[in-house]
Chains A and B, each alone.
Chain A
């Protein structure tokens, strides 16, 4: 067993961190040039032929950098539904996607194409009207699609199970990226800010909540890595692991950000500080794709009603392809 990142994965993380620091708002094509859009796409389709674990490394860094763009919606939500030619287009940076399966569709402002769930299949949605809605987290807009026609059939609806696991695992690891940065900022502040003649991090009333924040974050990261591995390996536990990871990591990220704001004092409460943006992303992640309470209800059902894994909870399939706002 080995649950550490390989040197190659660590190198990818380093690369991502440097790139996102230098290029805070990368275009889809720039991400494609780095190879990020085709990480888990087969080499013969123009991808890197790697797995969701490498995508998870990138998702964590993208969360940390509060990336604004269709990476999550393309890679986590839509990719499993795309046929080979469309995957190749994603790898080449020629297309980005989002999937409309609930009333609120993520990344609708940046995703070029929209897939939708209808009947027993997933289709490309054509000719729909898009309305992008303002969100508390300005870097992760949601929107609604109206009208439109189902175009090309992309995949069978059974792929929604994989999509759900990928989505949960992706949100979990992204939450860890968000929380990791918030914790770093808080620790840095506590180690430098002085009051009453001492660094405030020397006070246990400040230090212990930070120790707890670290603890919650590392537990969440362990779950997210487990989930990412299960997704990559198509492990039978993937749905359960991803639900557990999403429930825990989203709540942990919210808590860690709240601790970070408190430790920062007044400055952490201002618009100019980055903390509120991290906090809002954490809250976004918590709200999207199943609350902790709902996901834990699924885990409890799996444990107590003796199912091998919780009900997959395929998102409700609308009678028509029309997605209402």
Chain B
């Protein structure tokens, strides 16, 4: 069992150094899927975050003399 190279004795004959050479296409497909999944999750989570923040809005921060949001006051 080996995942790629078993000898470095003839470096001039070596091409790819990484394991599982030949499976680059499936690797790229997995990578692209993970990238798209990131955008989906990040967008969904952020939308939820802003909805919650919108609902939790406290108008007292707009009063004169209030310099920061309530959640930052400790």
Q: Do A and B bind each other?
A: no
